[in-house]
Structure 1
Amino acid sequence: MRQARRVARGALWVAAVVGVLSSVARPHGVRNPQEALSDYLVVLAPGTDPAEVPTKADALARRFGGVVHERYTSGLLGFATRMSPSAAARLGADPAVAYVTDDGEVSASATVRTPPSWGLDRVDQRGKRLTGAYTYPSAGGAGVSVYVLDSGIRIGHRDFGGRARYGWDFIGGDAKADDCNGHGTHVAGTVGGAQYGVAKRVRLVAVRVLDCKGKGSYAKMVAGIDWIIAHAAGPAVVNMSIDGPPSRALDDAVKRAVAAGITFVVAAGNESRDACDFSPAREPSALTVAATDRGDRRAGFSNYGRCVDLFAPGLAITSDWKSSDKAHQVMSGTSMAAPHVAGAAALLLAAHRTWKPSSVRVALLRAASQGKVTSAGRGSPNLMVCTCR
Structure 2
Amino acid sequence: MLLPLHRLFICCLFTAISLSLFPAALHGQSPVLTTAVKTIIPGRVVFKLKAGATQQRNIPENPRTSPLTATLARLNIRNVRPKFPYSKSSSAQQPGAVDLGLILQAELPATLPVAEACRALLKTGAVEYAEPLYSYPTLFQPNDPLSDSTRAGGQYYLKNIRAYRAWDISQGDTSVVIGIVDGGTRLTHEDLASQIQVNRLDPIDGIDNDLDGYVDNYYGWDFADNDNDPSRDPSSVHGILVAGCAAAAPNNSKGIAGVGYRCRFMPLKIYPSTDAGVFGGFEAIVYAADHGCKVINLSWGGAGGRSQFEQDVITYAAVNRDAVVVAAAGNTPADLDFYPASYDHVLSVATLQPSDERSLNATYSRRVDLSAPGTGIVTTWGDTDSDYGAVGGSSFAAPLVSGAAGLLRTHFPTYNAAQIAAQIRRTTDNINALPGNAAFAGRIGSGRLNVLRALTETSQQSARVVRRIMLPARRSYANGDTIRLTVTVQNLLSPVRNLSVTVTSLSPYVTVRQGSFAVGALATLAQRANADAPFRLAVATTGVPLNAQAVLRYRLEDVTTGYREDQYETIQLNPNYVVLNINDLQLTLTSRGNLGYDGLGSDAGEGVSYRGSGPLLAEGGLLIATPTSRLADNVRNDRYGANHNFYALARASRLTQPLRADQEAYGVLRDSLPSLTKGRSVGVRVRQRAYAWATAPHRDYVVVEYSLTNLTADTLKPLHIGLYMDWDLPGEPARNAANWDASRHLGYLYDPIKPTLYAGVQHLSGGQASVYSIDNQAPAGTAIRLADGFSAAEKLLSLTSGTSQRTAGLVAGTDASQVVGATLPRLAPADSVVVAFAILGAPSLAQLQAAADAAATRYQQVLTVRPTRQLEVALYPNPTTGKLLLQLPAGAATVRVLSALGQELLVHTAASGGNTQLDLSPYPPGVYLVQISTVAGSTTRRVVRQP
* Alignment TM class, shorter chain as reference: 0.7 to 0.9
> After alignment, is 144-153 or 66-75 more displaced?
66-75
Matched, 1:46 2:105: no
* Residue 321 of structure 1 pairs with residue 381 of structure 2: yes
Q: 2:329 aligns with which of 250, 268, 271?
A: 268
1:159 corresponds to 2:191 = yes
- Determine helix, strand or coil for the equivalent of 1:383: coil
Structure 1 position 378, deviation (Å): 5.8
State the match for 1:198 in structure 2: 259
Once the two structures are superposed, residues 70-100 of structure 1 have per-residue CA deviations (whole angstroms, 9 ceiling, x without a partner) of 7224383423434323333111222331111
CA distance in 1, matches of 2:53, 2:292: 22
Query: Compared with structure 1, are the counterparts of its residues 326 and 256 closer, same or farther at alpha carbon in structure 2 (3 Å cutoff)?
Result: same
2:391 alignment counterpart: 331
CA–CA distance in structure 1, aligned partners of residues 242 and 230 of structure 2: 14
Post-superposition Cα deviations, 1:178-201, rounded to whole Å, max 9, x if no partner, equal: 112111111111101122310110
Provide the C-alpha distance between the structure 1 equivalents of 2:59 and 2:171, rounded to a whole number of angstroms.
Answer: 40
Q: 8 Å contact 1:268–1:275 — kept in the other structure?
A: no
Describe the SS at the equivalent of 2:194. coil
**Deviation of 1:280 (Å):** 0.8
Measured against aligned partners, the alpha-carbon deviations of 1:336-374 in whole angstroms (never above 9, x if no partner) come to 000010011110001122311111012112221113553
Match in the other structure for 2:437: 375
- Look up the equivalent residue of 1:197 and give its one-letter code: G
- C-alpha separation in 2, matches of 1:124 and 1:313: 12
Change (3 A) 1:212 1:332: farther
Deviations, residues 40-97 of structure 1 (Å, cap 9, x unaligned):
33223225689724888x9675564224487224383423434323333111222331
1:181-196 matches, cutoff 5 A: 181-194=236-249, 195-196=256-257
Alpha carbons 1:68, 1:82 under 8 Å: kept? yes
Structure 2 Cα separation of the partners of residues 204 and 55 of structure 1: 40
Alignment of 1:108-147 (within 5 A): 108-115=138-145, 117-124=155-162, 135-137=166-168, 139-142=170-173, 143-147=175-179
Alignment-derived partner of residue 228 in structure 1: 288
Tell me the distance in 2 between the aligned counterparts of 1:313 and 1:176.
31
Query: 1:66 aligned to 2:39?
Result: no
Instruction: Give how far 1:222 is off.
Output: 1.9
- Comparing both chains, which one has the higher relative contact order based on Cα–Cα distances under 8 Å and sequence gaps of 6 or more? 1
> In the aligned structure 2, how far is the partner of 1:158 from the partner of 1:368?
32
Give the number of the structure whose residues are more often helix, by fraction: 1
**Identity of matched residues, %:** 25
* Conserved? CA contact 1:190–1:339, under 8 Å: yes
After superposition, the Cα gap between the structure-2 partners of 1:341 and 1:53, relative to the gap in structure 1 and judged at 3 Å, is: farther
Corresponding position: 1:242 with 2:300: yes
CA distance in 2, matches of 1:329, 1:43: 43
Q: Which residue matches 1:89?
A: 119
User: Could you tell me how far apart the structure 2 residues matched to 1:49 and 1:321 are?
Assistant: 51
**Count of aligned residue pairs for this structure pair:** 340
CA deviation after TM superposition for structure 1 residue 250, in Å = 1.5
Structure-2 change in CA distance of 1:39 and 1:137 (3 Å): farther
Change over 3 Å in CA distance of 1:37–1:287 after alignment to 2: closer
Q: Closer, same or farther in 2 for the Cα pair 1:114/1:231, shift >3 Å?
A: same
- Higher share in strand: 2
Task: Give the Cα–Cα distance (whole angstroms) in 2 for the partners of residues 203 and 69 of structure 1.
Answer: 36
Query: CA 1:54 to 1:288, structure 2 compared with 1: closer, same or farther past 3 Å?
Result: farther
Q: Distance in 2 between matches of 1:257 and 1:292?
A: 28
Summarize the Cα distance change of 1:49–1:203 in structure 2 as closer, same or farther, 3 Å threshold: farther
Q: CA RMSD in A?
A: 2.8
The corresponding residue for 1:174 is 227
- Find 1:290's aligned residue among 350, 354, 379: 350
Could you tell me whether the CA contact under 8 Å between 1:196 and 1:318 is conserved in 2? Answer: no
Q: Which runs of 5+ in 1 are unaligned?
A: 1-35, 126-132
TM-score after normalising by structure 1: 0.79
Aligned CA distance change for structure 1 residues 253 and 284 (closer, same or farther; 3 Å): same
1:120 deviates by: 1.4
> Would you say the 8 A contact 2:57–2:103 is kept in 1?
no
Distance in 2, matches of 1:43 and 1:330, equals 43
Residue in structure 2 matched with residue 107 of structure 1 by the alignment: 137
Question: CA shift at 1:303, angstroms?
Answer: 0.9
* Equivalent residue for 2:103, pick from 53, 78, 83: 78
Shift of 1:140: 1.8
